Structure 1
């Protein structure tokens, strides 16, 4: 993710367009198509083409295209713009992306192989992180100028930034059949002093719709791409939950600037999706590493009227939702200690085998 934004993307895009344009002008497309679809061996060539298109998702480098297109869309071509009046209520909203399970993703039961869920997670997480946190990512990228993250002496931290994946856990509930379409609903689950946790639900496509899509976009080619569309707002019940959710996954990300771990709330605040903290931020303009910003305890007098939106009540809502997510995340985080269970050379092994034809 960091690598994509460090490259001179506009120059690369212009050069690539020129190369493709010149190359296309020298290729006689009509003759190439006719030569492929006619003549000796045409049935074999047509069969190969059909197999490739039927499994285009698993062709080499398509995964890279899917991930990079998500990153570049939100960080370059069509920067997301969350309406200011909805920004702080958007923190826990999902991003929905759809896909399908082709033949090459199927196991011997002709279901989507459990290993392929993780490549889909790479794509949907890229959409969510770049869509929700793009303003903070941009400030982090230019930290020497924005001074978002400072060291103990109050100087802007230099170094390459990155949002790195720490671990993933996926719980499978129902199988996804061959060529069955599905949706991935990804949202921020919670965060602690180091990690941002993201939950993704694999859901049967078309089963439910959100009440609306709130994003606008700042496209190179004008305001387009995102739409405010009213959904059905159907309430999820036990029967719906059982039949529609195929799997649920939790992933955790850490934000780095050089060797420094950046507190998740620094990036969330810089992205404009956190409500004001009662009493302000103690160290947002000071050291911004793993141990900061510090929480300011504020006594509330309870004078706000019922239903009245205050800074205190907005922050409490976010804090309550975050604590609810942490109840799940703390069990996930406990799995980090599993590395200590590796026995190594302390005893015998059952055997040694290769995992492929050659390696």
Structure 2
């Protein structure tokens, strides 16, 4: 085996390791690990049990921009932000609502789940290859149906690269669970908390209903 071939193998191996987030099935391993540690493993490993003090608690997810996440401009592709948000938001929701997800008695006898209804993102700064950043997420507010999460991609120097608002709905099978009901079950609801949620909703008035946008004629 030639030295050139050995060097090529090492380089390819290092490249694969550096871009592990984009390897086949890596997304599924990453997100299911979040669910597993927060909804199952915490029962036997205490460090995964999360004692939430506030429903507005900030969850911080640290990661970096791997080469395969870059577009032709050689910075993080816009299409990759949603995938990273899935992981970061899952960390947030399974942390602040851990008791709700693991102990709430659903009619379906399954865990409650949280599908994304809408996503809005504003891009501000580029994230370069191998650049480290954190995704800081917290619940912004809720109404009778929707729960809104704000997430910011924050670079090491503190610069915000992008901001996203996610509109979630809590589901038990086909039944919708009111956010307030889930938060009360978690033991984090109060009148003051509700007032703070109302303030948060002021920032997402444009996002509560998409019916007008959906009705735009494309002809």
TM-score normalised by length of structure 1: 0.55
For residues 123 and 217 of structure 2, what CA distance do their matches in structure 1 show? 26
* Deviations 1:136-159 (CA, angstroms, capped at 9, x unpaired): 11233x43xxxxxxxxxxxxx346
Runs of 4+ residues over 4 Å off in structure 1: 37-40
CA apart distance, 1:50: 1.8
1:251 corresponds to: 166
Note if 1:175 corresponds to 2:126: yes
1:80 corresponds to: 49
Note if 1:162 corresponds to 2:113: yes
CA apart distance, 1:41: 3.4
2:45 corresponds to: none
* Deviations 1:165-195 (CA, angstroms, capped at 9, x unpaired): 1111111111111111001110000001111
2:148 corresponds to: 197
1:261 corresponds to: 176
For residues 68 and 251 of structure 1, what CA distance do their matches in structure 2 show? 20
Note if 1:69 corresponds to 2:33: yes
- Whether the 8 Å CA contact 2:50–2:96 is kept in 1: the answer is no
SS at match of 1:178: coil
For residues 127 and 168 of structure 2, what CA distance do their matches in structure 1 show? 27
Higher strand share: 2
For residues 264 and 333 of structure 1, what CA distance do their matches in structure 2 show? 14
2:200 corresponds to: 325
- Give the number of aligned pairs: 213
Gaps of 5+ in 1: 1-36, 144-156, 208-243, 276-314, 348-359
For residues 120-159 of structure 1, the aligned pairs below 5 Å read 120-140=84-104, 142-143=105-106, 157-158=107-108
CA apart distance, 1:134: 1.1
* Deviations 1:247-276 (CA, angstroms, capped at 9, x unpaired): 11011111112222111111111111213x
For residues 167 and 46 of structure 1, what CA distance do their matches in structure 2 show? 42
2:75 equivalent among 111, 125, 128: 111
TM-score normalised by length of structure 2: 0.88
1:54 corresponds to: 18
CA apart distance, 1:38: 7.5
CA apart distance, 1:197: 0.5
For residues 60 and 122 of structure 1, what CA distance do their matches in structure 2 show? 17
Gaps of 5+ in 2: 43-47
For residues 332 and 266 of structure 1, what CA distance do their matches in structure 2 show? 22
Alpha-carbon spacing, 1:320–1:119, altered in 2? closer, same or farther (3 Å)? same
- Whether the 8 Å CA contact 1:98–1:205 is kept in 2: the answer is no
